[in-house]
Amino acid sequence: HLVEGKFHAAKIHRPSGKTSVLTRNDLEGYLVQRNAFDSFLVDKAKEAGAEVVLGNEIVAIEQLRKGVRALGVGDSYKAHLLVGADGVNGITSKQLDIRHQWSQENVAVCISAEVPLDSSEIERTLTQETEQPQSYIDLYYGFVDWGYGWCFPKHDSLNIGLGCRLDKARGLRDKWEPFLSKMAQEKDIKIKVTEKTSARVPIGGDHGRIIGRRSMLIGDAAGLVSAISGEGISFAIESGHLAADVATEAIKEESPVHIV
C-alpha cells in the first residue's frame, strides 16, 4: 500500500515543555515513503503516455525561435514548452533568467532519517486516546531557532527530522543527536539511525516571476511551499496540474506557446 499512515491530529510541543493536541476530523493527512511515492508517480506518467528518461543530467537550456531545447550530458530534447520541476537546487530558473539564486532567509535546511520501528511500538507511542484512537504527528518548537523538529509515524518506521532557516542553521547538526536522544527518552524506544539525509527547502517570501518564454516553474523550483511547515508536495501536484492544463490548451490551439 502506498499510504503508510493517516492522521487527523498534531501534537504541538512548546519550548516550555507543555504540549497541546490540535485535531481536525474534517481533514486527513497521509504519510508515505517518498521513494515509493515518486515511483508511483513515474508509473502513472508512463501509463499516461509520457516517455521517462533516466540518467541524463540536464546541464543547459536554449531558447530557440520556435521552441526550447534542454541540453543533456547525453541526448538533448526539443519541445514547444518546458516545465521546470527540478527543485530548489535545479538549473532551470537560472538558465531561463528567472532566479539566479535563493536568499538564505527564504530557504530552509533539513536533516531527517527513517527510523525502523515495530508497528506495535509505533501504535503504543503515537496513538492518541480519544473516543476513537487515532494517530498524530509530533511537532517540536524551541529545540532549534527559526524552525522545528518532527516525528511522523509510518507503518513500520518513524520519520524524524529537524529543520530551520538556512541563515539560522549554524549548529543544526550539533543538535541532531540530542534531538534523537530526546525522542528515545520521551517515547521509551530505541532509535538506531543507519543513514540520514539533508535537503534544502524553499520557504516562501521570494515569490517573483515563475514563468518565462515557453517555460514554467512548478513545485519547489517555483518556491511553492508552505512557509510555516515546509510542506510542498500538495503545491507541486497542484502546480503540475496547472502546467498540464496550459500545455493541453497549447496543443489544442495548434500554435506556438508564448508565456509572457
Over residues 172-204, the pLDDT tens digits come to: 999 999 999 999 999 999 999 989 999 999 987
Provide the whole-model pTM.
0.88
What is the chain's percent helix, strand, coil content, to nearest 5?
30, 35, 40
Angle among Cα 160, 227, 5 to the nearest 5 degrees reads: 40
Confidence of residue 260 (pLDDT cuts 50, 70, 90): very low
Continuous H helices in 173-230: 176-187
50 secondary structure, DSSP code: P
Confidence of residue 259 (pLDDT cuts 50, 70, 90): very low
The residue among 46 and 127 whose pLDDT is bigger is 46
pLDDT in tens, 12-25: 999 998 999 999 98
Query: E strands along 142-247, which residues?
Result: 147-153, 157-165, 196-202, 211-212, 215-217
Domain ranges of the chain: 3-35+104-202, 79-102+206-253
Q: Domain 3-35+104-202: which CATH class? A: alpha beta
The answer on pLDDT for 45 being more than 60 is: yes
pLDDT in tens, 87-139: 999 999 999 988 888 888 899 999 999 999 999 998 888 776 555 667 899 99
Single-letter code of the amino acid located at 15? P
